[in-house]
Amino acid sequence: YFTIIFENDEGKQYKHNQLVPPYKYDFQEKQLIELVTRLGIKLNLPSLDFDTDELIGKPCHLVLKWKFNNDEGKYFTDFSFIKPYKNGDGIVNKPIPKDEKMKAEENGDNNQSKDSLSNESNPFANANGPIDISDDDLPF
């Protein structure tokens, strides 16, 4: 693969690793064709090669989408597609702000783990002092 670094007018960067042939799956080939042709770069067929120097400084609209990461319990931006740049368009390349549902989902997942330590099903949640365990019950 090769890495393309997209940068907006604020200097914020987004990295995208683009797979190159040979491909295991058809969608990988389709992604390369779509990426290069939307940028207006000539793609040589059937080899699917092109002059990578043409990528440098190429204006485009990078469309990002939010994707939820279950392991971390939060959303991150993921590359969706590129829209061709037309003369006169402003280049922004900013993700759409999280909506209230997304924020609540992130906060809800984070609060769940905190609540589980203080809820009534936890026998140690309301202990105001030492926990009474006899020495006979201790394994050491």
SS (H, E, C) the chain: CEEEEEECCCCCEEEEEECCCCCCCHHHHHHHHHHHHHCCCCCECCCCECCHHHHCCCCEEEEEEEEEECCCCEEEEEEEEEEECCCCCCCCCCCCCCCHHHHHHHHHHHHHHHHHHHCCCCCCCCCCCCCCCCHHHCCC
Query: What pLDDT, on a 0 to 100 scale, did the predictor assign at position 111?
Result: 46
pLDDT, average across residues 56-76: 84
Residue 99 sits at φ, ψ, to 5 deg, of -85, 175
Identify the residue with better confidence: 94 or 49. Answer: 49
Q: What's the rounded Cα separation, in Å, for the pair 96 and 67?
A: 12
Identify the residue with better confidence: 140 or 24. Answer: 24
